[in-house]
A = this chain, B = another copy of it.
Amino acid sequence: MGENGARAPSIRDVAQAAGVSTATVSRTLSNPDVVSEGTREAVFRAIRDTGYIVNVAARNLRKRETGAIAVLVPNIANPFFSRILSGIAEVMSEAGYNVLITDTTPMSLDDHRFPEYFSHNLTDGLIILDGMLNKDLLLNRGAPEVRAPMVFACEWIDEVPRPTVTVDNHEACGIAVRHLIDLGHRRIGHLGGPPDNVLSKHRMRGGREALHTNGLPHRRDWVYEGDFTLRSGAKIANQWLAQSDRPTAVYCASDEMAMGFIAELNRKGVRVPDEVSVLGFDDLEIAEHFVPPLTTVHQPRVAIGRAAARMLLERMNTDPRERVLGPVPRVVLPITLVERGSTAPPPSS
């Protein structure tokens, strides 16, 4: 690697240039008030002259903290996460922390580099948005009280008991289904996410129970397996079209699937909501601007981010022993159904 003699100026160079000790330089930087005015000026001038930037690695090593947290996102391509990240960034940067985002998808690193994230010296804490991480990696890594505290948001892993911020996915889908029933639908299907995903499971079950409660059938051939993406929504549209006996309404595990579904139907000349009602989940920015505007379950995404950040902050400030022994807080944020244009009474047929 391009190693040659040149080195970035260190605190020593600054000290020398300012005619003081390194301790004084350090103090000037971290606590300007304790040094005399003359010294302070000399040090700042020396910093400017030398072009000094603190060596973060050295500081982190010595202080045993980094001033940064990491967010592990399953898929940055999913616009769902962006607002959550905003919420996190907002609270965290106010608290003086840097926020580093990592996509867990390309993590072939998994076994190698991954554990280092938990080592309390790359970051001071972790917010995990990915419920599919290897749980052994998360657990079997030495005493938890010496590891960086972590909290789950949105998704979680049942076997890993950590603080969690979620919405009531179960309840949400109950509300969604009830909305469709209120519109007069009796034949209700579901576009689900990947079957091994926690959210998929809860969303599926929530709807199923609501159907049961209302004496409606939960038909196997009316639940379609997708993966939260636009593309899978479009694919399911074709499955739906191919059926002779179809639901008149579907509720989806994500807005993207709902939109992919609608777009593909549109292309095939089937109008939403005239011929079939579609109900989304997430309330992405675009949902309101889609054609037709999407009826969907609104998740308070910024609030989720903020809550997760605040919870992490709190965990980072509690004694590790207590953190391990104490209860595991869980906060559940309220969702709301926002009715727009993609749902309507079933075709009178």
Q: Which residues of A contact B (CB under 8 A)?
A: 1-4, 6-9, 50-58, 60-61, 64-67, 70, 76-79, 81-83, 85-86, 89-90, 93, 98-103, 105-109, 113, 115-116, 118-122, 140-143, 145-147, 230, 233-234, 259-260, 262-264, 266-267, 285-286, 288-291, 293, 316-323
The answer to whether A76 and B85 have CB atoms under 8 Å apart is yes
Q: Most B CB atoms within 10 A — which of A53, A259, A288? A: A53
Chain B residues whose CB sits within 8 angstroms of the CB of A7 once the complex forms: 146
Q: Which single residue of chain B is at the shortest CB-CB distance from A264?
A: B289
Q: Which single residue of chain B is at the shortest CB-CB distance from A145?
A: B6
Chain B nearest CB from A69 CB (Å) reads 12
Give the complex CA separation of A90 and B76 in angstroms: 13
Q: Which single residue of chain B is at the shortest CB-CB distance from A319?
A: B2
Give the complex CA separation of A152 and B100 in angstroms: 19
Q: Which single residue of chain B is at the shortest CB-CB distance from A290?
A: B263
Give the complex CA separation of A61 and B234 in angstroms: 50
Chain B residues whose CB sits within 8 angstroms of the CB of A89 once the complex forms: 103, 105-106
Please name the 3 residue pairs, one residue from A and one from B, whose CB atoms are nearest each other, closest first. A51-B142, A77-B82, A263-B289
Q: Which single residue of chain B is at the shortest CB-CB distance from A59?
A: B57
Q: Which single residue of chain B is at the shortest CB-CB distance from A148?
A: B8
Q: A53-B142, A101-B102 are in contact. Are A6 and B120 (CB under 8 A)?
A: no
Give the complex CA separation of A36 and B92 in angstroms: 47
Chain B residues whose CB sits within 8 angstroms of the CB of A323 once the complex forms: 2
The answer to whether B83 and A77 have CB atoms under 8 Å apart is yes
Chain B residues whose CB sits within 8 angstroms of the CB of A106 once the complex forms: 86, 89-90, 93, 99
Give the complex CA separation of A7 and B147 in angstroms: 9
Chain B residues whose CB sits within 8 angstroms of the CB of A101 once the complex forms: 76, 100-103
Chain B nearest CB from A26 CB (Å) reads 15
Q: A8-B142, A82-B76, A263-B293 are in contact. Are A2 and B317 (CB under 8 A)?
A: yes
Give the complex CA separation of A85 and B286 in angstroms: 21
Chain B nearest CB from A39 CB (Å) reads 21
Q: Most B CB atoms within 10 A — which of A56, A100, A118, A122? A: A56
Q: A53-B142, A82-B77, A89-B106 are in contact. Are A260 and B289 (CB under 8 A)?
A: yes
Q: Most B CB atoms within 10 A — which of A7, A100, A143, A316? A: A100
Chain B nearest CB from A166 CB (Å) reads 21
The answer to whether B51 and A57 have CB atoms under 8 Å apart is no
Chain B nearest CB from A154 CB (Å) reads 16
Give the complex CA separation of A60 and B290 in angstroms: 48
Chain B residues whose CB sits within 8 angstroms of the CB of A267 once the complex forms: 293
Q: Which single residue of chain B is at the shortest CB-CB distance from A93?
A: B106
Give the complex CA separation of A82 and B103 in angstroms: 10
Give the complex CA separation of A209 and B222 in angstroms: 54
Chain B nearest CB from A95 CB (Å) reads 12
Chain B nearest CB from A35 CB (Å) reads 19
Chain B residues whose CB sits within 8 angstroms of the CB of A8 once the complex forms: 119-121, 142, 146-147
Give the complex CA separation of A248 and B323 in angstroms: 63
The answer to whether A320 and B2 have CB atoms under 8 Å apart is yes
Chain B residues whose CB sits within 8 angstroms of the CB of A81 once the complex forms: 76
Q: Which single residue of chain B is at the shortest CB-CB distance from A121?
A: B57
The answer to whether A286 and B103 have CB atoms under 8 Å apart is no
Chain B residues whose CB sits within 8 angstroms of the CB of A147 once the complex forms: 8
